[in-house]
């Protein structure tokens, strides 16, 4: 094993973002100067992307335990929750922001591939994908290019894999112009006994490399994801991986079949940090060591160095630890699926991870020194001096023409129907999608049972930018509300926390406040956090993005059909649950119509939100609720219009009578007061329902009834259903073409 000059070590360490203090920690651990391969391995594992060195202390605020939790956050590749009858749901959301900014198609496609592998390495079959996307203003040609590339990459990979993309969300704001966000969620199902972990156990057990050959694509991807995007980031294209979903489909089927045989001791995908991460994490989790011979690693490029092989992030690769003596059984399955597999090492008595090439020792270190013993920082956090000063005065905001404002909102890219996007996704493959995109909260059937899973992704960067604590809290509340309106009970969440540099005290304050708000809401609702992802350094020459906590939540529904958001029948009564306040701060209306991005963020009362959820779930289970739709961007007016036009088979109008809320008219129609849900019930049930809700502590206002060909907003304004449907469904296509 050859060492290097201190100058060379310093150059490589700086390339990986290793600080002087971290370098001294590495030297102290090894007791010598590291080799090129070693400094590369420590560099990628010490990156924010892999080590969570800034976020780990803050993430401890999240509740991670509960009666359904089978695998807790941080223990494995994804979390797992019991859904009864011996079944578990496995799910996780992750980001692929930086690669998608540089190469949108491949960045998004490999993001889908990576999250799929996280699920099926647990033994679960992926049954659904969702995505949460953020882009700059869609009027900019380069933003349109990014959007088209990302959507193409997501659809390409998911469609080829035969996993339905059933929903998600997209928002547009100038904050994301230089740094789009691509967060992808995958949900899988597995029997409890089929859950498998990513641990290396058993001295002498073979370590098998499975899947694609290793190339130079993706080199330094974890380090790339742990620094800001700059004008020169185009040169980071080698850090963006290349996708092959057809190979991944073979991997998926082979791994699931292999796991069923019981010969798998542990399994880990080679995602961020590639072979380095897969070897050190499996060894560390199992409390074992591992010897690896890189000469046996399949390569598709001549002349690759050990450093490059260990750091490559070539896609569609797995590391599998198999019970000794069962190699032939595994080989037969790999051959059946036409996959290349080779033994590259074996499990040893801990704690050392040793990397050889042609008999030469290239790296040797305790496996845990790369994982659980990576540095952790208590970053300074400082509340910005201008916090709370970006609040509007209502006197400075004139009440505009309501009809024109409504049409502008309904057609704005963040609110308009996203069918231009979801029509590119196969959302019906596997034939289990029950609520289709654009019709309400996505719901998927658990095949062979009477169970349904409702799944959502939610977040609002504007709220978090103006008040990160309240913004984080609202993200959880909105996700839970979206689950509840389908009739499902929220059972767990995964998060994707997108922020600027943690080394900026103001950004880190935003991060801590967001997590604090989210954790408080999770505890109030009894919803455990099962895992997720922190994405820092989302910055460009324009500055940091708005802090964007994205919540992916899963709900369980059993024994009855889910509720959708569209109005169903002429004469049904329309009721607004919740209180409308004079709140237009931080709203989409304020941004779109008045071109202002000011607070205050709407107030949120967790106790009131919980009562709202309880009442609605109770009434849905009694069969008394015909439709339910939460109020978010665009407020009451947009929610009413969506309930009229979101059912593609039978758009229908609504007659709203005079509303006597003592508020500004724009706050009534476009304000985004929280804890509100729009429902419809049989006309004969209206008075009983309102009385019951009020007695339970939830304000309930009978607004009018379903029917006609017009959406009548009291005496304020009206629009034909046909025109509203055209604006909502065609706006995005009109901007993007095709």
Active site residues: 49, 96
DSSP 8-state code for residue 374: S
Report the C-alpha gap between 700 and 676 in whole angstroms.
10
Please, are residues 281 and 346 in contact by the beta-carbon 8 Å criterion? no
Report the C-alpha gap between 584 and 579 in whole angstroms.
14
DSSP H or E segment with residue 534: strand 529-535
Bridge partners (DSSP) listed for residue 364: 354
Report the C-alpha gap between 19 and 649 in whole angstroms.
60
Please, are residues 515 and 61 in contact by the beta-carbon 8 Å criterion? yes
Report the C-alpha gap between 530 and 276 in whole angstroms.
25
| Torsion, Cα of 88, 93, 96, 101 (10° steps) | 140
> Per the omega criterion (within 30 degrees of 0), is the bond before 247 cis?
no
Please, are residues 316 and 116 in contact by the beta-carbon 8 Å criterion? no
Enumerate helices (H) and strands (E) in the chain, giving the number of each. Answer: 24, 28
| Torsion, Cα of 680, 682, 683, 688 (10° steps) | -90
Report the C-alpha gap between 503 and 378 in whole angstroms.
10
Please, are residues 222 and 82 in contact by the beta-carbon 8 Å criterion? no
**CA distances in angstroms from 418 to 231, 672, 700, listed in the order given:** 31, 21, 31
Residue 538: HSE in the Cβ half-sphere, 13 Å Cα cutoff: 31
State the Cα angle at 520 between 518 and 523, rounded to 5°.
Answer: 110
For the record, the structure tokens of 108 come out as 């998004």
Environment class of 20 (CB within 10 Å of its CB; exposed 0-12, middle 13-18, buried 19+): exposed
Q: Which residue do the tokens 């001096």 mark?
A: 385
Report the C-alpha gap between 178 and 638 in whole angstroms.
29
Nearest residue to 286 via CA among 361, 196, 222, 193: 196
Bridge partners (DSSP) listed for residue 206: 346
Report the C-alpha gap between 475 and 453 in whole angstroms.
20
Alpha helices, H only, 367-467: 402-410, 419-422, 461-466
Residue 327: HSE in the Cβ half-sphere, 13 Å Cα cutoff: 13
Report the C-alpha gap between 388 and 206 in whole angstroms.
59
- Beta-carbon count within 10 A of 559 CB: 8
Report the C-alpha gap between 189 and 173 in whole angstroms.
35
């Amino acid at each position: 094993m050859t060492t290097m000059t201190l100058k060379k070590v310093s150059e490589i360490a700086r390339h990986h973002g290793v600080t002087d203090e971290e370098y001294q920690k590495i030297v102290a651990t090894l007791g010598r100067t590291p080799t090129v391969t070693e400094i590369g391995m420590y560099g990628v594992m010490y990156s924010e992307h892999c080590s969570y060195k800034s976020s780990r202390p803050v993430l401890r605020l999240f509740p991670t335990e509960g009666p359904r939790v089978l695998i807790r956050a941080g223990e494995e590749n994804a979390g797992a929750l019991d859904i009864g009858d011996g079944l578990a749901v496995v799910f996780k959301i992750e980001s692929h922001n930086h690669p998608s900014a540089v190469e949108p198609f491949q960045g998004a496609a490999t993001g889908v591939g990576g999250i799929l592998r996280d699920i099926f390495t647990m033994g679960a079959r992926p049954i659904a994908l969702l995505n949460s996307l953020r882009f700059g203003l869609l009027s900019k040609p380069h933003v349109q290019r990014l959007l088209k590339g990302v959507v193409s990459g997501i659809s390409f990979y998911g469609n080829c894999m035969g996993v339905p993309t059933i929903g998600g969300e997209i928002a547009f704001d100038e904050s994301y112009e230089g740094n789009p966000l691509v967060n992808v969620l995958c949900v899988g199902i597995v029997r409890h006994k089929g859950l498998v972990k990513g641990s290396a156990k058993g001295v002498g057990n073979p370590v098998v490399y499975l899947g694609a050959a290793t190339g130079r694509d993706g080199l330094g991807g974890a380090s790339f994801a742990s620094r800001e995007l700059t004008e020169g980031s185009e040169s980071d294209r080698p850090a963006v991986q290349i996708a092959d979903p057809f190979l991944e489909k073979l991997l998926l089927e082979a791994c699931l079949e292999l796991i069923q045989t019981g010969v798998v001791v542990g399994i880990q995908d080679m995602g961020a940090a590639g072979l380095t991460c897969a070897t050190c994490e499996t060894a560390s989790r199992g409390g074992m060591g591992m010897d690896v011979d890189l000469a046996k690693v399949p390569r598709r490029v001549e002349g690759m160095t050990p450093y490059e092989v260990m750091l490559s992030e070539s896609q569609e690769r797995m590391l599998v630890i198999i019970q000794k003596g069962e190699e032939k059984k595994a080989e037969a399955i790999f051959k059946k699926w036409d996959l290349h597999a080779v033994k590259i090492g074996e499990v040893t008595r801990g704690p050392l991870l040793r990397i050889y090439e042609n008999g030469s020792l290239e790296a040797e270190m305790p496996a845990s020194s790369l994982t659980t013993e990576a540095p952790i920082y208590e970053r300074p956090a400082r509340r910005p001096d201008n916090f709370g000063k970006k609040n509007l005065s209502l006197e400075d905001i004139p009440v505009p023409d309501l009809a024109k404002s409504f049409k502008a909102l309904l057609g704005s890219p963040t609110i308009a129907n996203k069918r231009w996007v979801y029509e590119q996704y196969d959302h019906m493959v596997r034939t289990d999608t029950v609520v289709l995109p654009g019709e309400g909260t996505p719901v998927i059937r658990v095949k062979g049972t009477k169970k349904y899973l409702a799944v959502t992704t939610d977040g609002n960067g504007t709220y978090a930018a103006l008040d990160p604590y309240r913004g984080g809290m609202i993200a959880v509340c909105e996700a839970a509300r979206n689950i509840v309106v389908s009739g499902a009970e929220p059972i767990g969440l995964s998060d994707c926390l997108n922020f600027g540099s943690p080394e900026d005290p103001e950004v880190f304050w935003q991060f801590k406040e967001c997590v604090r708000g989210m954790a408080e809401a999770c505890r109030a609702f009894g919803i455990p956090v099962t895992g997720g992802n922190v994405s820092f350094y989302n910055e460009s020459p324009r500055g940091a993005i708005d802090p964007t906590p994205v919540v992916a939540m899963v709900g369980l529904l059993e024994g009855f059909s889910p509720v959708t958001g569209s109005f169903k029948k002429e004469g049904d009564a329309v009721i607004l649950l919740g209180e409308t306040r004079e709140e237009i701060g931080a709203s989409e209306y304020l941004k779109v119509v008045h071109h202002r991005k000011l607070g205050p963020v709407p107030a949120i009362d967790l106790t009131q939100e919980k009562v709202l959820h309880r009442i609605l779930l109770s009434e849905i289970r009694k069969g008394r609720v015909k439709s339910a739709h939460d109020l978010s961007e665009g407020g009451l007016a947009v929610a009413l219009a969506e309930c009229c036009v979101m059912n593609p088979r039978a758009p229908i109008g609504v007659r709203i009578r005079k509303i006597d809320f003592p508020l500004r008219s724009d706050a009534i129609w476009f304000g985004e007061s929280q804890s509100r849900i729009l429902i419809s019930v049989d006309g004969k049930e209206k008075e009983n329902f309102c009385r019951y809700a009020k007695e339970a502590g939830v304000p309930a206002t009978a607004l009018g009834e379903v029917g006609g060909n017009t959406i009548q907003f009291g005496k304020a304004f009206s629009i034909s259903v046909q025109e509203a449907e055209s604006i909502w469904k065609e706006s995005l296509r009109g901007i993007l073409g095709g």
